[in-house]
Amino acid sequence: MKRVLYLSVFMCCGLGAVVAGSQKRPDVRKLYAEFTQEETTDTAAQGILELARKDLHAREYLVQKLPSIIRGRPSGRVWLNAVRLAGALKAVETVPALTQALSRGPTGGTLTLGEYMRLETDAVGKALADIGDPSVPALATVLRQGDHPMRQRATLILLNIETAAARKALSEHLPDERDLEIRDLIEHELKGGGRPS
């Protein structure tokens, strides 16, 4: 009798494993194809994010593709979703492409000072801030070599990263900053002035 019970339990567990293994997981390549189309990108982006958070292979596949989209498409929903996914997945592989995209300027219209400081209309800046410390060396280079708008964005991004590495990059840059507005912002923040919320 015990053998029959054990056999029944074994078969049920085995059958459950077969059923679970045969359930279809979303195909990352199919989702990616949908992601690259303006009409289906928003839905596919959500599916890709969920899949990439659970499946390391799907994440690797995606983060290898994102830099070319970020570099190659100057605007549109596909580009915006690629930038947002880069930040949401903290995809270090996208930092060079995102840093290059800083030259395009932020998106958005009228906003409050708090929204501006929190990068709410700057998808590229928000993605770099979400990636965090791996973005700091590239942003430090922008502080040294960028024009005024890029240095200002790099400053805001570093302030949003809020780590020791980001603060160090700002404090090392401060003596060389020639724009009074950027200089004042850095000094204020390094003294613990706090940003508008």
pLDDT reported for residue 121: 76
Nearest to 160 by CA among 191, 116, 96: 116
Euclidean distance between CA atoms 185 and 193, whole angstroms? 9
Domain residues of the chain, as ranges?
Answer: 25-89, 94-197
For residue 133, what pLDDT band results from cuts at 50, 70 and 90? very high
- pLDDT in the model for residue 127: 96
Nearest to 88 by CA among 42, 124, 34, 49: 49
What six digits make up the tokens of 25? 């997981």
The answer on pLDDT for 4 being more than 60 is no
Distances in Å between the Cα of 122 and the Cα atoms of 103, 119, 176 are 12, 5, 25
- Length of the chain (residues): 197
Read off the pLDDT of residues 90-109 as tens digits, 9 standing for 90 and up: 999 999 999 999 887 666 55
Q: pTM for the whole thing?
A: 0.81
CA–CA separation, 70 and 81 (whole Å): 9
Which pLDDT band, with edges at 50, 70 and 90, does 5 fall under?
Answer: very low
Secondary structure class of 91 (helix, strand, coil)? coil
> What gap in Å lies between CA 72 and CA 97, rounded to an integer?
9
Comparing 169 with 75, the larger pLDDT belongs to: 169
Cβ–Cβ under 8 Å, residues 155 and 170: yes
